[in-house]
Chain A
């Protein structure tokens, strides 16, 4: 816990966490990257499965989205690191946070295995009359792993355990007077 406290006490991270504007802007940026670049991951995986964009070759789809996926990944990770480190004390005991990191590590392993077999080998995949099963496996696993990251990422905000006093940035529950029956769901929504 003390390491987590030390991390989030770093000057600019404290300022970041307490900022009513910068914190949600970075969170929105994180989500925008999920929308724009997550969509490209989705389309690549669906192409590998032979479901979407079948008029285009696998080579085309993989190579066209590659640069953008990388740019998006970098922004997404930067934003994510800021969000997590500024709330290190809240995140470190959160099992969903660790589940998300585990899935991200699995995505790294997925890349190590399938990059040489599939993503850097698309010309050969296109030559084959049917989509080879290793390409379909890569697409299906990628979909599963990214949905896992998405789900655990969203669940981080729902964990109520030691060291989760609530997000200082999110004030909607306090700002709007609501019946108690409604407040629970507002808090649920606000504490991310």
Chain B
């Protein structure tokens, strides 16, 4: 006999779109604050403050955004796992997300707090932005594949 398990998230029509909105707000907070630091690394704004200051100001908000995003995301996934794990764009998105988070808390963090500017800092900022934009694109494209 097969045990029937029903995901409570599928019990209401409204839960999925509500979670999506929370997910979008979560990544607006995390990616938005990450982008502000990246723009600073590129010398494109907030130039009156050091990158380290901007990064320190925003770090708790980035973390909060990531927590919201990484809570709502798996819940969205759980509503229909088959659709996601049969989808190569979803796999790509997860790889990019993992890389983006690791990069964010290692190389990029070191660069932002080192106070160095110049080519290296700019490359780090570009890699960071590219990874996060890739994650967002992956989220849309997985529905179109």
Contacts and interface: CB of A to CB of B under 8 A. Distances in A.
Asked if chains A and B come from one complex, the reply is: yes
Nearest to B30: A39
A150 B144 CA distance: 21
Interface stretch (A99-107, A120-128, A132-140, A178-186): A178-186
Contacts of A182: 80, 82-83
Contacts of A151: 17, 21
Contacts of A43: 32-33, 36, 58, 61
B124 to A, nearest CB: 17
Nearest to A38: B28
B63 interface: no
Contacts of A147: 21, 25
Counting contact residues on chain A (CB < 8 A from B), the size range is 35 or more
A192 interface: yes
Interface string A18-38: 001001110110011011111
Interface residues of B, number: 43
A39 B35 contact: yes
Interface string A56-70: 100010001101100
Given A64-B45, A186-B80, 16 more contacts: A31-B139, A32-B136, A35-B31, A36-B32, A39-B31, A40-B32, A42-B28, A53-B57, A60-B49, A64-B46, A67-B45, A150-B25, A172-B142, A178-B82, A178-B83, A188-B16
Interface of A: 20, 23-25, 27-28, 31-32, 34-40, 42-43, 46, 52-53, 55-56, 60, 64-65, 67-68, 147, 150-151, 154-155, 158, 169-172, 175-176, 178-179, 182, 185-186, 188-190, 192
Interface of B: 10, 13, 16-17, 20-21, 24-25, 27-33, 35-36, 39, 45-46, 48-49, 57-58, 61, 65, 79-80, 82-83, 86-87, 132-133, 136-137, 139-145
